[in-house]
Each structure stands twice: as structure tokens, then as C-alpha cells.
């Protein structure tokens, strides 16, 4: 059954709420390094990050949105029920992991939910293989690339500053960290907002609201970037209270390397139209920076348990997505 | 795992020569202290030597700390570099304290156990010198460094025994009436024991650095 107008509007609202929650959830990543090095106060850091999340819309196209909307599950299969399943799967898994205190990727939850609901409706044939393959591949290479880029950036920076005093290096990189934090927030906004855009546009396309060709209406673009930025803004205030011990001890020069490496990886993924986990990418970069100093500086035990949550997310969200789809499929 | 990467990083070599010089001063001071315990006119002669050597060591330690403030690249954690030089300097400070106590209390004859402890100090100082020379290549020398540190700890244990024995004998000799004799001897034993302990502290620092680095 074709969804009624109000149903579609409701689903779009849910998608935007998901986007907002995404920003809330990830706010800490955007500001963690720049706050732990005390370059910015938490309040200003959050505004800085939210601003650059938003203006990212000027820099990126909609390739990631197209992948989400039409490149994972074939458009013929997508319906409002599938989108409902996808969103509910993602939101449920986010809530479960939030309640359980497990770090997980909202992006992976969304992709998992979408794939689960799509397969529940259309079976294996519903899947668009190229999209799935490049997304699955990016799950592995995006944190690894973040790590490797951070390592080599650290190497380059070390050679450049080898004759400087620690004090001068600190001062210079406190300023440069403003730049790298901005670059990272742009990358974060660019990749994450597009996922929700893809969901909304995919829904609208499936319900015939976009005509013959898939495209992303401008109001969808702006509202997704805005929802994400708003989430970052408000999420930041919550993070301010619980920060402290969780944030790794980084010096400005290390924060700069991690954020720049993360940003570069995100730009590449976004340019290739691949949805990736911004959390995992920046985590990879921070691990790279830690390992560059000393391999023992990285708490590999914790990294391992994060890996497990990571692997579980996609199938778990897919399952929940399929269940929610089944719930509404009779309608 | 990342050894190839660490090899590509820029090097900072200024610290190792400073550490080696400091260690050499410690050994010289330890030997001077042993000579001092031979008594007689050695006491005054060696005392001047030890004072001079302690100042020299202070200067080198100051250079290390200055280097830390001005170098961005350090061969290992800057906090560890600071701890190491501080603990090394503490050991020679304690040797100076021993010498000062001897002169203050006008001691000119020494017990055999005191001389044995002075020997232990020299042995410990020489081991520290060997260990410090290996810091240049922590990964390659890790096993040997561990051995040396264990040996220093063993020496410290033996010195503790000498200390106990010496104090016991001193007490037996003095308990009939000469309290001052006991007090002077106790002071010397106390400082000698602390000097060995400080060398053991250096060994602990080095072991910590090896564990962190490898």
C-alpha cells in the first residue's frame, strides 16, 4: 500500500530525529580532542563543531545519499515499511548500546537496519551488490586509513618541528587544532547528514514523490545538515558534564594529526559516495597517533572490545530492522 | 610491530652522552668514597673530591633538564628522562651526605662492614654506568638491562645484611658505655645504606623505562 502523506511526513520526522540523535551521540568525537588539549572551552568547542557540521553542505554533493537511497537496497524494494524498519532498527540498536554503555556506530546501525528490512521484504535479490560491497569494505579500510594517515602525518610533523621547543610546538598547534577540528566537523557533517538524506530521499522516491529520477531535494539537504548540527550543539552540553576521564590525554600536535587524518579519510569516503562510521574513523586516527609515540601507549584491550561491538552492530541492527519491517508489512 | 616506523622518526641524541657523563661521575665519586673509608688523611683529601664531583653531577643534571625544555623529540618519555636523571643525581647526593657526616662527626677509623658497604656502592655504581651506556638501544639491550638491574637489587640486599651486621657489632662494642661511638657509627652506616638504596632506585627507573619502551 502506498503510504499516506501524513505517514511519510511522520517517517521523515523520525529520520530527522535519528539525524539529531546521531549528532548528539557523536558530539564528543568532534570536540573531544580540542577540549582535552584545552584549546577551546567545551561550550565554544561545541558551537565550533556544530557550525562546521552545518556549512559542510556547501562542500559535498549527495553521492553518499544516493548510495543509501538507491545503492544498498534496490529502489523497487524500498517502501515506507522498509524505511520504517530501517529507522526503527537503527534507533533501537542505538538505544540498546547507549543503555548498555557500549560504544557503537549509528551509521552502521542505520545501514544494518536498512539492509535487514530490505532483505526481509525482498530476499537476497533486494540487495544492490556493488553498494553493499563498497560499504562493507569501507567498514574495514576507513579506520585503518585513519590510523595510517595519522601515523604518517605524525612522522611528517615530527620532522618539520624537530628543531623547535615543545612550548613553541604547543602554541603553534593550539591554533592549528582549530583548523583540524573544523576540517573534521566538516567531514563528519558531510558523511553523516547524507545518510539521513539518503533515507528520506529514498523513501520519497519509493513513494513516487520524486518523479522518474532519484535526487535529493534541497530542503532535505538543509534540514539534515541542520538536524545533525543541532544534535552536536545540544549533545555537547551533555558531554561537558561527563567528560574528564574518558578523553585520552593528547597534546595539541597529536590532536591535530588525528583530526586531520580523520577528516581526510572522511573526505575520501564521502567523495567515493561511501557511508562510513565517523566514530570508527576518528578512533582509528587517535590510535594511530598513540601508537606513533609508543605501541604500549594504546590500550589494545579496550580497542579489542570496541571491535567486538563493531562487528555485532550490523547484524544486530539488521535483525531488529527486519523485525520492525515484519511488524508493519501487513499494512 | 611498528619498528620500521620508529626508525623513520627524527632522532635526538643529545641525552645519551649526558647520561653517560653523569654515570661516570657517580662511579668516580663512589671510588672516592671507598678511598675515604680507608681512614687517616684520605678522609680530608677524598672529601674535597666528592664535593667537587657532586657539583659536576649537578651541572650535568641541569643540562639534561634544560635539554628537555628545548627538545621536541626525546628518545623516550620526557617524564622518564627527568626521573632517571633525578634518581641518578640523588645517588651521588647521598654519597656526598655520607662524606659530610664522616667529616662532621670527626670519624677517622672505619669498621670492616662499612668498607664492605662502600665496595657494594662502587659495584652498584659501575653497574649503573654499564646500564646507562646501553640505553641507546633499548630494544636490543632489554634482556641485559634487566639482568643488570636485578644484580643491583641483589647488591642492595647484601648491603642491607652488611648494615645489620655492622650495626649489631657496633652496638655490642658500644653498649658498655660509649653512646657517642654508637651514634657516630650509626650515622655513617645509615648514609651508606641510603646510598646503596638510591642506586637501587636508579635500577628501578631503568627497568621501568625498558618495560615501557619495549
pLDDT digits (tens, 9 = 90+) for B93-148: 999 999 999 999 998 889 999 999 999 999 999 999 999 999 998 888 999 999 99
CA atoms within 13 A on the CB side of B79: 3
pLDDT digits (tens, 9 = 90+) for A45-58: 889 999 999 999 99
| Helix A42-55 with A218-242: angle, nearest 10 deg | 160
Non-local (6+) Cβ contacts of A98 within 8 A are A25
For residue B1, the chain A residue with the least C-alpha distance is A295
Q: Mutate which of B4, B66, B72 to disrupt the A interface (most A C-beta within 10 Å)? A: B72
A249, A257, A294: which to substitute to probe chain B, counting the most B Cβ within 10 Å? Answer: A294
Domain span at residue B153? 13-213
In terms of pLDDT, which residue wins out, B178 or B118?
Answer: B118
Which CB contacts under 8 angstroms, 24+ apart, belong to B152-157?
B152/B124, B152/B127, B152/B128, B152/B199, B152/B200, B152/B202, B152/B203, B153/B200, B153/B203, B155/B120, B155/B123, B155/B124, B155/B127, B155/B196, B155/B199, B155/B200, B156/B120, B156/B124, B156/B196, B156/B197, B156/B199, B156/B200
CB contact under 8 A, A155 and B73: no
Cell numbers 552492530 correspond to what residue? Answer: A313
Q: Say if B2 falls within a structural domain.
A: no
B139-164 average pLDDT score: 95
For A311, how many CA atoms within 13 A lie in the half-sphere containing its CB? Answer: 5
**Domain ranges for chain A:** 5-328
Q: Which residue of B has its CA nearest to A293?
A: B6
Could you say which of B8, B10, B212 has the minimum Cβ distance to residue A296?
Answer: B212
User: Which helix H or strand E contains B73, and what residues bound it?
Assistant: none
Interchain pair B69, A167: CB under 8 A: yes
Residues 245-304 of A with CB under 8 A from B: 291-292, 294-296
User: pLDDT at position A244, please?
Assistant: 42
**Rounded Cα distance, B183 and B175, in Å:** 11
User: For residues B187 and B182, what is the distance between their CA atoms, to the nearest angstrom?
Assistant: 9
DSSP A3: P
Give the per-residue pLDDT at A38.
81
Q: How far is B10 from chain A (nearest CA, A)?
A: 6
Cβ–Cβ below 8 Å for A165 and B72? yes
Looking at residue A293, its pLDDT comes to: 80
Residue A103 DSSP label: -
A1 touches A331 (CB < 8 A): yes
- Residue A240 is predicted with a pLDDT of 52
Report the C-alpha gap between A27 and A9 in whole angstroms. 27
Instruction: Confirm or reject contact between B72 and chain A (CB < 8 A).
Output: yes
More reliable by pLDDT, A79 or B165: B165
Q: A-chain residues within 8 Å CB-CB of B7?
A: none
Look at B72 and A169 and tell me if their CB atoms are within 8 Å. yes
pLDDT of residue A245: 38
A34 and A178 in contact (C-beta within 8 Å)? yes
Residue B161's CB: how many other CB atoms inside 10 A? 12
pLDDT at A243: 47
**From first to last of its 331 residues, what are the pLDDT tens digits of chain A?**
566 888 889 999 999 999 998 888 777 777 777 887 788 888 888 899 999 999 999 999 899 999 998 899 888 888 888 999 999 999 898 888 877 767 778 889 999 999 999 999 888 888 888 988 999 889 889 999 999 999 999 999 999 998 899 999 999 999 999 999 999 999 999 999 999 999 999 999 988 888 888 889 999 999 999 999 999 888 766 655 444 434 456 788 998 999 999 999 999 999 999 999 988 898 889 888 888 887 766 777 777 777 777 788 889 999 999 999 998 888 7
Contact of B1 with chain A, judged by CB distance below 8 Å, is answered with yes
Give the total number of structural domains in chain B. 1
Closest by CA position to B36, among listed B90, B117, B93, B91: B117
Query: Is residue B180 domain-resident?
Result: yes
**pLDDT average, residue stretch B23-27:** 97
Rg of the Cα trace of chain A?
Answer: 20
Q: Is position B21 within any domain?
A: yes
Whether B71 has its CB under 8 Å from any CB of chain A: the answer is: yes
CB atoms A158 and B5 under 8 Å: no
Is B4 within a domain? Answer: no
Contact A162 B12 (CB under 8 A): yes
CATH number at residue B127: 1.20.58.220
pTM here? Answer: 0.83
Q: Is the CB of residue B135 less than 8 Å from the CB of residue B16?
A: yes
On whether the CB atoms of residues A91 and A13 are closer than 8 A, the answer is: no
- The interface pTM score, or ipTM, of the predicted complex is 0.74
A21 touches B: beta carbon within 8 Å: no
Q: Which of A164, A167, A295 sits opposite B2 (nearest CB)?
A: A295
Asked if B89 and B55 count as a contact pair (C-beta separation under 8 A), the reply is: no
Please check whether residue B65 lies inside any domain of the structure: yes
Contact across the interface for A151 and B1, Cβ inside 8 Å: no
Q: Touching check for A166 and chain B: CB below 8 Å?
A: yes
- Option in B8, B73, B78 nearest A162 (CB): B73
Asked if A260 and A145 count as a contact pair (C-beta separation under 8 A), the reply is: no
Residues in contact with B71: Cβ distance below 8 Å, sequence separation at least 6, in sequence order: A165, A166, B12, B14
Chain B contact set for A159 (CB, 8 A): 10
In A, which residues are within 8 Å of B73 by CB distance?
158, 162
Amino acid at each position: 500500500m502506498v503510504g499516506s502523506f501524513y505517514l511519510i511526513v511522520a517517517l521523515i520526522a523520525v529520520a530527522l530525529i535519528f539525524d539529531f540523535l546521531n549528532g548528539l551521540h557523536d558530539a564528543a568525537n568532534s570536540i573531544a580532542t580540542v577540549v582535552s588539549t584545552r584549546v577551546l572551552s567545551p561550550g565554544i568547542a561545541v558551537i565550533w563543531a556544530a557550525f562546521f557540521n552545518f556549512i559542510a553542505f556547501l562542500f559535498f554533493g549527495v553521492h553518499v545519499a544516493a548510495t543509501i537511497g538507491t545503492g544498498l537496497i534496490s529502489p523497487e524494494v524500498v517502501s515506507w515499511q522498509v524505511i520504517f524498519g530501517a529507522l526503527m532498527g537503527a534507533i533501537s540498536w542505538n538505544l540498546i548500546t547507549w543503555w548498555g554503555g557500549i560504544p557503537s556506530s549509528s551509521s552502521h546501525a542505520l545501514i544494518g537496519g536498512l539492509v535487514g528490512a530490505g532483505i526481509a521484504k525482498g530476499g537476497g535479490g533486494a540487495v544492490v551488490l556493488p553498494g553493499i560491497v563498497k560499504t562493507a569494505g569501507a567498514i574495514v579500510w576507513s579506520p585503518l586509513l585513519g590510523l595510517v594517515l595519522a601515523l604518517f602525518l605524525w612522522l611528517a610533523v615530527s620532522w618539520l618541528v624537530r628543531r623547535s621547543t615543545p612550548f613553541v610546538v604547543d602554541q603553534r598547534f593550539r591554533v592549528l587544532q582549530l583548523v583540524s577540528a573544523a576540517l573534521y566537523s566538516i567531514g563528519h557533517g558531510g558523511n553523516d547528514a547524507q545518510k539521513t538524506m539518503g533515507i528520506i530521499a529514498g523513501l520519497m522516491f519509493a513513494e513516487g514523490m520524486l518523479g522518474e529520477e532519484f535526487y535529493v531535494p534541497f530542503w532535505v539537504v538543509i534540514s539534515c545538515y541542520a538536524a545533525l548540527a543541532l544534535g552536536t550543539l545540544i549533545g555537547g552540553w551533555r558531554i561537558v558534564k561527563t567528560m574528564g576521564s574518558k578523553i585520552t590525554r593528547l597534546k595539541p600536535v597529536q590532536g591535530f594529526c588525528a583530526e586531520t587524518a580523520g577528516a581526510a579519510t572522511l573526505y575520501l569516503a564521502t567523495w567515493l559516495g561511501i557511508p562510513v562510521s565517523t566514530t570508527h574513523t576518528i578512533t582509528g586516527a587517535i590510535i594511530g597517533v598513540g601508537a606513533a609515540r609508543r605501541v604500549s601507549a594504546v590500550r589494545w584491550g579496550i580497542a579489542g572490545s570496541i571491535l567486538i561491538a563493531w562487528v555485532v552492530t550490523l547484524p544486530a541492527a539488521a535483525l531488529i530492522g527486519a523485525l520492525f519491517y515484519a511488524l508493519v508489512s501487513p499494512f | 610491530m611498528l619498528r620500521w616506523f620508529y626508525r623513520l622518526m627524527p632522532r635526538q641524541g643529545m641525552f645519551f652522552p649526558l647520561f653517560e657523563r653523569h654515570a661516570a661521575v657517580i662511579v668516580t665519586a663512589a671510588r672516592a668514597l671507598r678511598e675515604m673509608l680507608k681512614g687517616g688523611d684520605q678522609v680530608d683529601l677524598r672529601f674535597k673530591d666528592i664535593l667537587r664531583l657532586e657539583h659536576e653531577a649537578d651541572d650535568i643534571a641541569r643540562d639534561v633538564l634544560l635539554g628537555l625544555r628545548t627538545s621536541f623529540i626525546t628518545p623516550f618519555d620526557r617524564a622518564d628522562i627527568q626521573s632517571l636523571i633525578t634518581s641518578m643525581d640523588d645517588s651521588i647526593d647521598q654519597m656526598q651526605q655520607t662524606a659530610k657526616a664522616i667529616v662532621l662527626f670527626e670519624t677517622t677509623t672505619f669498621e670492616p662492614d662499612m668498607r664492605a658497604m662502600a665496595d657494594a656502592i662502587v659495584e652498584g655504581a659501575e653497574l649503573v654506568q654499564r646500564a646507562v651506556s646501553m640505553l641507546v638501544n633499548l630494544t636490543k639491550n632489554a634482556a641485559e638491562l634487566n639482568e643488570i638491574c636485578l644484580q643491583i637489587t641483589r647488591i642492595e640486599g647484601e648491603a642491607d645484611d652488611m648494615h645489620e651486621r655492622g650495626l649489631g657489632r657496633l652496638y655490642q662494642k658500644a653498649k658498655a658505655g660509649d653512646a657517642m661511638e654508637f651514634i657516630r657509627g650509626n650515622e655513617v652506616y645509615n648514609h651508606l645504606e641510603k646510598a646503596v638504596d638510591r642506586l637501587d632506585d636508579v635500577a628501578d627507573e631503568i627497568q621501568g623505562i625498558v618495560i615501557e619502551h619495549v
